[in-house]
Amino acid sequence: MPIEIVNKDVTMGAGQLGRLWDLGLDIEGSGAGRPRRPAAQVEWVYACLMLIVRTCRDIQLVLSTTNEDIVESGPVYDLLLNNPDMPWMHFITETVGYLALHSEVYWIFTDLEGYKPKTILVAGRDQCKPVIRRGVLVGYELRQAEGRRIPLFIEDVHPILDFNPYDKHHGLGALDAAYLSTSAAYQATQFNEAMLANGAAPGIVLVAPPGVKLDDDQIARMKAEFRARHGGARNAGRAFLATGGVDIKPFTHSMADLQMIDLRRFDANAICAAFGVPPELIGLNPEAQYAHGPAQLRFIQNTIGPILSFLASHITLGLLRRFRFEKHVGVPVARSVSFCGSRLPLRRRASYRAERVRAIQSQSGLFAWFDMSQHPVVQQAKLSEAEKALRYTLAGVTLNDIIEAHDLPYNMQPWGYDWWIGMGQVPASFTLEAGPEELTGPALPEGETPGEEEPEPKKSTDPAVVEKADDEPLRLRIWRSWVSSWLGIEREYSEAMRKFFLRQQRLLLAELKKALSDTKAAKADPDRIIARVVLDLRAENGKIKVIHQAFFRKASELGARQTISEVSGVTGDKLAELAGQALERPAVKRAMLQGAQKITGVNVTTGKLIAGQLRAGLDAGEGLADLAARIRERLGGNLKRAQSIARTQTAGAVGSGRHAGLSAAGVDLKSWLTARDPAVRESHRAAESRYAAGIAVTLPFQVGADLLMYPGDPGGSAGEIINCRCLELPVIAAGKAADLIAYSNLKFYSYADMLKDAPHAAQRD
């Protein structure tokens, strides 16, 4: 049972004074109530401090010159980054630790060579004291553990102090602000321990009447006797008799008083605020874990960034200026071996720009900065920002303007100030250089019109007439209606591929001119010319994958909308929702990845074609004009190749969406339908006949030697899927002609319908 002995004033509970002293709380003198070693006692102070220190250690210090070189050798580089007596990790740990706790740290130069330091000792507030006489700083005093005090000159010490409105010679750090919260948290703990030790029963106060003086021995004996008879949980609530004129006053506590431990949470948040650490990062506010990512970014930008910027300025002014007459070797960022950040120009980094301006203002040719951009949290934030910002290229904003306005981590491109077409793949200047056909599209064969869809033939509604319809024209009518539904996507895809080939033509012609300008190489070895006129396969593969993925998404969504609307009859937002769910199936994503991987073979084929043409021309002694004509012939007029690629990829993508839609709509059986013309492969004719009555949706079609889940399945061989125009149909009543009759009267959901329902569907990817 907690006991309070009251004489003149209410004093602390029994044993509390000794426990406070044991835990390091200074309760005497001017520092009453202040924790003497709170960083070692209070977990929240420790957690905040170590989080700041560890994060700062992970960010690289870079020494640079104002002409954008990185210093990789020299006396100051050896002092900071190549010093076995004071490794950089130890130096930054102690400096940031003292700075975070007290906003006060001292660099003591224990060995000077003229004005240049050879060794540095990092000291905190307790180790180094400024010597003030009549309000003027006259030196410093280093206090060692064994009690020695070493006087220091002003030039031997570089102080790093943050703002303190009360004392310009000391900093005002987070630890000073955390003293009160630390003490309150400790006292809350002691209160709860005392209450729970007594079985959570109310305590009492023994009050001595006026005129009765109790000395320390009497108080101690009374408390000891009372505790022995009535203390502890086993005696909670028992009656007792007190004699000797001592009044007994019970406490009127409620169970709510036992919630004082919750004050620790409020104190912990106050400590976090003092250190600038979001509570989510050290385990507080667990219900806000969803905000952990934004909390990390706030911590890096609002706490770590200012600390390291402040520290970088002191490194520049306090250390590097002492070496301004020394020679330092600098190298460009592209050739640096010690710099671990990206190879973007240094001026593209905000932290570099800020410190460079300060260095120029202070007339310092050498300065320090911390590469904040390499931290994973900052990189992820930049990537997310880039993903949103680069969409503005669709509105006509140039790429370089976007990069510069949003400070994105990408290099400026020589063509980055050209406007881009809607696909975001080809600059407008490339389009203009390609000639009139690039603007108007390729000329259509004689007799054709540029309509998006073929006119729908009139169909008889008389069942007797329909039943007598010939099977082959009926199937052909279904196929033509289906092909016309996605013809718009195929044409867009074909145009994108044709522009892609025209851009490659432009790049290869430029490389050919450079190679032939070296007349000695041209005469010596034609192989060297061919080796120089090549495509960057990695870059070209990335571009063609982007084209494929953009059109695959549109085509597969169209296929899913088709089958879902055919089977269930839903329209509008419900149709869009079901189609979106169907496209989330792993099979669709796998088909897109397989198609993207296979389409890169187009670039390999292009490289082989160009190499063969150059070989033939050089062996024949042709010059630049003839060789350029060969490249233009292969790439400039490659309309049929673009159409073949577009038809293959579009049909396969629509097929993948239709197959996913069948599963989403709950269809059990599927069948295979061909175009019924002379160009149909024998293996496809056989599949149409074999599966006329239907096969389970979950089983593959056996087509030749391949197993295909649907026509155009990218998992199949090239011989079975290139230019494939076959259609997968749901079988509602297996083997009955009524299915074909129903589809012959059906208008397939088309690309035009999808654009009408979702006007931005063609541009959102």
Q: What is the DSSP letter of 103?
A: S
How far is it, in rounded angstroms, from Cα 97 to Cα 80?
17
32 in a domain, yes or no? no
Same domain, 5 and 119: no
Residues 124-150 pLDDT 10s: 988 999 999 988 999 999 998 778 899
| Domain C-terminal end among 172, 189, 218 | 172
Q: Percent of the chain, pLDDT > 70?
A: 71
Full domain range(s) for residue 9: 1-14+201-246
Residues 180-212 pLDDT 10s: 555 555 566 666 656 555 554 545 566 666 667
160, pLDDT greater than 50: yes
469 in a domain, yes or no? yes
How far is it, in rounded angstroms, from Cα 124 to Cα 100?
11
List CB contacts of 455: < 8 A, sequence separation 6 or more: none
pLDDT of residue 181: 58
Same domain, 491 and 408: no
Residues 629-666 pLDDT 10s: 888 777 765 677 888 888 888 888 888 888 888 888 88
125 in a domain, yes or no? yes
Same domain, 730 and 596: yes
Beta-bridge partner residues of 62: 369
Give the helix/strand (H/E) hosting 277: none
State mean pLDDT over 358-367: 84
In this structure, of 19-28, 71-80, 486-495, the range with the lowest mean pLDDT score is 19-28
590 in a domain, yes or no? yes
Q: What is the DSSP letter of 633?
A: I
Residue 132: what residue type?
A: I
How far is it, in rounded angstroms, from Cα 180 to Cα 322?
41
374 in a domain, yes or no? no
How far is it, in rounded angstroms, from Cα 165 to Cα 172?
8
Higher-pLDDT residue of 148 and 288 is 148
End-to-end CA distance of the chain: 71
348 in a domain, yes or no? no
Same domain, 7 and 122: no
List CB contacts of 632: < 8 A, sequence separation 6 or more: 505, 509
For residue 246, count other CB atoms closer than 10 A to its CB: 15
Looking at the 3D structure of the chain, how many domains does it have? Answer: 4
Same domain, 145 and 165: yes
Whole-number Cα distances in Å, 705 to 308, 691, 702, 723, 724: 65, 16, 7, 18, 16
pLDDT band at 10 (very low <50, low <70, confident <90, very high): very low
How far is it, in rounded angstroms, from Cα 479 to Cα 449?
20
The token pair that represents 409 in the structure block: 């981590």
The token pair that represents 10 in the structure block: 């209410």
The token pair that represents 493 in the structure block: 């895809």
Q: Is 184 left (phi over 0), alpha (psi -120 to 50) or beta?
A: alpha
434, pLDDT greater than 60: no
The token pair that represents 622 in the structure block: 């042709």
Residue with tokens 């209450």: 195
How far is it, in rounded angstroms, from Cα 333 to Cα 70?
6
Same domain, 520 and 606: yes
pLDDT of residue 368: 93
Same domain, 386 and 489: no
Same domain, 544 and 598: yes
Higher-pLDDT residue of 468 and 683 is 683
Whole-number Cα distances in Å, 465 to 66, 471, 473, 745: 88, 13, 14, 13
Residues 213, 217, 222, 225: what is their CA dihedral angle, to the nearest 10 degrees? -170
240, pLDDT greater than 50: yes
Same domain, 407 and 548: no
464, pLDDT greater than 70: no
Residue 688: what residue type?
A: E
Under 8 Å between Cβ of 508 and 610: yes
How far is it, in rounded angstroms, from Cα 108 to Cα 416?
51
How far is it, in rounded angstroms, from Cα 2 to Cα 186?
17
Residue 475: what residue type?
A: R
Under 8 Å between Cβ of 50 and 43: no
pLDDT of residue 24: 36
Residues 444-455 pLDDT 10s: 333 333 343 333
Model confidence pTM above 0.95:
no
pLDDT of residue 286: 60
- 3-state class (DSSP) for residue 676: coil
Residues 256-276 pLDDT 10s: 444 544 555 556 777 888 888
578, pLDDT greater than 50: yes
Same domain, 392 and 511: no
Residue in 145, 147, 148, 150 with CA at minimum distance from that of residue 131 = 150
How far is it, in rounded angstroms, from Cα 700 to Cα 715?
11
77 in a domain, yes or no? no
Beta-bridge partner residues of 142: 128, 150
Residue 5 φ then ψ, to 5°: -95, 115
Residues 389, 390, 396, 399: what is their CA dihedral angle, to the nearest 10 degrees? 110
pLDDT of residue 455: 39
